[in-house]
Amino acid sequence: MNIAIVIGISNYFNYSEGQEIIAPQKDASRIDKLLKATQKYQNILYITENTTATSVKDQIRSFLQSYDKQEIEIEEVFYYFSGHGILEDQEFYMLCSDYDKSKKNTTTLQNSEIDSFIRVLEPKLTVKIIDACFSGYRYLKDNSFGYGGNISSEKTLKNVIFMASSHDDQQSQMMGEDSFFTAKFIEGALSVKIGGKVLYRDIQGFIADEFRSMITQRPFFTTQNTGTEVFTEYTEAMQALREEFYPETIGEIENEDLLQQEKDGILGEAKSLDDKVLVDKIDKILAKQDALFVEEGVINTTLEDIKKTLLNYKISDQIVDTFYQINFSWDKKLSDIAKSPKLLRMADIENWSDKYLIKVDRKTETVQQPVSNFSRQLLGFAFFESMGMGEVEKQKPYSLRASHSLPYDVVLIEFQPNNKLSLSPFFGIIALVHSETQILILFHKGIMIKDAWRHFTIDWDSLNWNKQNYRWKDIIQNPTILWEKFLNETIQEIREYLVELT
């Protein structure tokens, strides 16, 4: 029997780093969908509400003890957590909603405590996925300085796979409403199948590739297993979930896979083929790649047509139209919205400058690098001070700009109240990042904040971006992709805001 525990804690009552983080609850929901799509787990404990420590521990104990009492043989326990985390005294703590620094042991889930809960069942395989800052916790009994290693032997924890989103001196990054590590775990699980099977080690490999260029965050993997453990047989439900999570890129991904297979075939056959056959095969590959290109003039015309459509746009919702008017502006550039820290972080993490016609400007900063508790206790804090090892130079993004301009890079949409001083204005942003064949569309919608007497502005620090990737050919064929769904969602949000006033 296979069972799972999925925990996402977004609300924090007392934690100084923020009372709410959107990503964990979203992360848990997506992981829950993934596990259900595998059709492997007979029961999943899903916790995103009532997330005080007492409540969470009670739910976990009750869930696991129910199987202990039935004396059911457990093949696998899958444990997932997303939320805040801290590392102290060689112990990693997953913070619950009521976290209190002075009551650390009773307002958190300790990593070793989760082990003790699971150990009772003596599962053949324990999988722990932790998406939290400082989560790369080494519970080792050897003196290895390498990344990873073997988990200390426990009689009742036979095989263990531990994946943490970052090392014990690093913070974990978010992309809009998703945590980057969880997003890549899910993407890997839905895309790396060998002979119809998805292995845990293949998911690890996918994640490692996605993080290979990051300095500020590197996942941490620790295993005590054979390396052949199967996450799941690839199911039709997983294929459907892949299409749900990546609806706009699924065809593109499959086409790229087919192209790569054809390229691999050419390389394998090159020695046995004569030049004429080889030329024909190469020509077919290039024809498929060239078909993705669209003339610049066609792109510009399409964008100008979209602009004309939006300038004539009328709010169809009667309630919203009564109280708000819509205004569009086209003069902002990508460099103007780069004042959003999360946008810059996303551009840096995803290497936009390698994929799109965009420049990410970086500068070198000297920052205080946290020293891991493991190293501090091993070598002593005085050692690090004497060696000046607390400070490091890091390259950080500070601006971005398009290296090739479109008729417009950013559409700013404002919904201003119609002579109602007690109503707040809303806004939406559509930003375009592009290559010659692809376009990444960034979206954010929200409410403006008051910063002066009867004056509202955008709080750039708080913006959470959603994004969709398309081929230019898709936009040419269906220009409403660029704006229709986003505008409808924004208007619906304003409608709900007005209805709540009643």
Lowest mean pLDDT among 197-201, 306-310, 367-371, 473-477: 367-371
User: What is the overall mean pLDDT for the chain?
Assistant: 83
Q: Mark out the alpha helices in 111-215 (DSSP H runs).
A: 111-119, 180-191, 200-210
d(CA 252, CA 476): 16
Residue-wise pLDDT tens digits, 125-165: 999 999 998 788 665 433 332 334 444 444 457 789 999 98
Q: Is the pLDDT of residue 333 over 80?
A: yes
CA 115 to chain centroid, in Å, comes to: 26
- Does the pLDDT of residue 472 top 80, yes or no? yes
**Average pLDDT of span 293-313:** 93
Cα 97 to Cα 20: distance, rounded to the nearest angstrom: 9
Q: Residue 29 pLDDT more than 90?
A: yes
- Core vs surface per residue 284-303: b (16+ CB within 10 A) or e: eeeeeeeeeebeeeebeebb
Weakest mean pLDDT among 12-21, 398-407, 425-434: 12-21
When computed from its CA atoms, the radius of gyration of the chain, rounded to whole angstroms, is 25
Distance CA 115, CA 121 (A): 10
Which 3-state string (H, E, C) describes 44-58?
A: EEEECCCCCHHHHHH
DSSP code of residue 167: B
| Number of Cα atoms under 13 Å in the Cβ half of residue 125 | 19
CA distances from 400 to 15, 337, 347, 395 (A): 32, 9, 8, 14
Distance CA 121, CA 124 (A): 9
Tell me the pLDDT band of 28, cut-offs 50, 70 and 90.
very high
Three-class secondary structure of residue 39 per DSSP: coil
Helix axes 236-245, 23-38, angle to 10 degrees: 150
Residue 480 clears pLDDT 70, i.e. is over it: yes
Q: Name the DSSP class of 260.
A: H
- Contacting residues for 346 by C-beta, under 8 A, at least 6 apart: 175, 176, 352, 465, 467
Q: Please, which pLDDT band fits residue 1 given cuts at 50, 70 and 90?
A: very high
**Overall average pLDDT of the 476-489 stretch:** 92
Residue that the structure tokens 């083929």 belong to? 273
Distance CA 470, CA 105 (A): 48
Residue for token pair 């008051």: 450
What's the pLDDT score for residue 87? 87
CB within 8 A of 438, min separation 6: which ones? 355, 356, 469, 470, 471, 472
The Cα–Cα gap between 448 and 417 comes to: 12
pLDDT (0 to 100) of residue 11: 87
* pLDDT(247) > 80: no
pTM comes to 0.59
Percent of the chain residues topping a pLDDT of 70: 82
> Hey, which bits of 291-357 come out as E strands?
324-329
Phi, psi of 397 (to 5 degrees): -70, 140
Pick the residue with more confidence: 381 or 403? 403
